[in-house]
Amino acid sequence: MTEKKRVLITGASGFVGYHLIEAAVIAGLEVFAAVRPSSDKTHLKGLNIQYTHLDYTSVPALKQELEEKQYHYIIHAAGITKAKTKAEYDLVNAGYTQNLALAASTAHFPLEKFIFLSSLAAVGPLDDLSQEIKDNTAPRPVTNYGASKLLAEQYLAEFKQLPLITIRPTAVYGPREKDLFILFKSINGGLEPHIGRFKQQLSFVYVKDLVDVVIAALSSKTVQKKYNISDGHAYDRYALADFTRKALHKRTIKFHLPVSVVSLMATVMDFLYKNRKDTPALNKEKMSELTAINWACNIDAAKTDLQYDPQFNLEKGITQTVKWYKLNNWL
């Protein structure tokens, strides 16, 4: 009997992390899920996995972990999407990634692939609707989050011998997602808000398509390359709401809030949350992404190199997502 390949998946308790674990188990891998001691693991019960805790602040501790477990693959999906300061983003998203890569490149273990889950935010949007974001588009992030992911990519580029593939997903949605879910809930309640009336081109990827390409990348011969990932389509600003409304069989009151009003609301929310640990869903940081005009990206290289074949366009993915939300009493 062939020995199972071992994979370390960081950020395992998160939305994408859960789906990565599920896909890795189905793929027949021996899965080690890296979670914080305080993380809620109830949704991971029933999955045939083992848990581990990583100290991202210590390269020797990380090195010891990698040598003890002898991982074949690392999927680094841990990170934060909301933080109070640029320094916090940079520490967690870039500094900890650098430490893990340093440990991986100096430890003695049979590493075959290091997958870094970055973000299309690391490249940033375009201000021309006639163009697409390509894998080699010059980065111009518009948020501290995106800048921290870009910094992580720059750190990783220093490790020339690391069998690295960087995956940059656009907006990810699907079962268990909580940020876009706010819009689903609003539409379910009959309200359909939009920011401004300017033209926009947006891109999305259903979480199962994303995790499928990550798992496929583990056995790819490609290394030291970056791939932007979406479902391969560009959508107008109303598509997400239109498909959600259709899936929910709802009629809504559709209204447009001036950008200046939403920007003021974001400023107020930032002020109200100033002394709290958590960060509001709407904040000044998020406004830069929500009001960008072009997030369409080209996925040709991923199709060629990683045999990426997205199965879910936005309508199909939204239909599946709404089904899950209803079945699990989120809606």
Render pLDDT for 200-209 as a digit per residue (tens, 0 to 9). Answer: 999 999 999 9
Q: Is 3 exposed, middle or buried (0-12, 13-18, 19+ CB in 10 A)?
A: exposed
Q: Which residues 6+ apart lie within 8 Å of 241 measured at CB?
A: 183, 187, 192, 194, 252, 254
Per-residue pLDDT averaged across 108-113, rounded? 95
Q: Which helix (H) or strand (E) holds 63?
A: helix 59-69
If pLDDT is split at 50, 70 and 90, which confidence band does 215 have? very high
Residue with tokens 């940033």: 124
In this predicted structure, the answer to whether residue 1 has a pLDDT above a threshold of 60 is: no
Q: Which residues 6+ apart lie within 8 Å of 148 measured at CB?
A: 86, 89, 90, 92, 93, 94
In this predicted structure, the answer to whether residue 288 has a pLDDT above a threshold of 80 is: yes
Render pLDDT for 4-34 as a digit per residue (tens, 0 to 9). Answer: 899 999 999 899 999 999 999 999 999 999 9
Residue 42's pLDDT is what? 82
- Domains of the chain by residue range: 6-177+203-235+294-312
Q: Which helix (H) or strand (E) holds 226?
A: strand 225-229
CATH architecture of 6-177+203-235+294-312: 3-Layer(aba) Sandwich (3.40)
Number of other CB atoms surrounding residue 167 within 10 Å: 23
Render pLDDT for 243-264 as a digit per residue (tens, 0 to 9). Answer: 999 999 999 999 999 999 999 9
In this predicted structure, the answer to whether residue 187 has a pLDDT above a threshold of 60 is: yes
**What percentage of the chain carries pLDDT values higher than 90?**
87
In this predicted structure, the answer to whether residue 287 has a pLDDT above a threshold of 80 is: yes
Q: Which residues 6+ apart lie within 8 Å of 280 measured at CB?
A: 266, 269, 270, 272, 273
- Whole-angstrom Cα distance, residue 289 to residue 297? 15
In this predicted structure, the answer to whether residue 172 has a pLDDT above a threshold of 80 is: yes
Among 79, 24, 19, CA closest to 49? 24
Name residue 49's beta-bridge partners.
Answer: 31
If pLDDT is split at 50, 70 and 90, which confidence band does 45 have? confident
CB 89 within 8 A of CB 47: no
Q: Give φ, ψ of 37 to 5 degrees.
A: -55, -30
Residue 254's pLDDT is what? 95
Residue 2's pLDDT is what? 62
If pLDDT is split at 50, 70 and 90, which confidence band does 132 have? very high
How does DSSP classify residue 48? -
Q: Which residues 6+ apart lie within 8 Å of 221 measured at CB?
A: none
Number of other CB atoms surrounding residue 285 within 10 Å: 22
If pLDDT is split at 50, 70 and 90, which confidence band does 274 have? confident
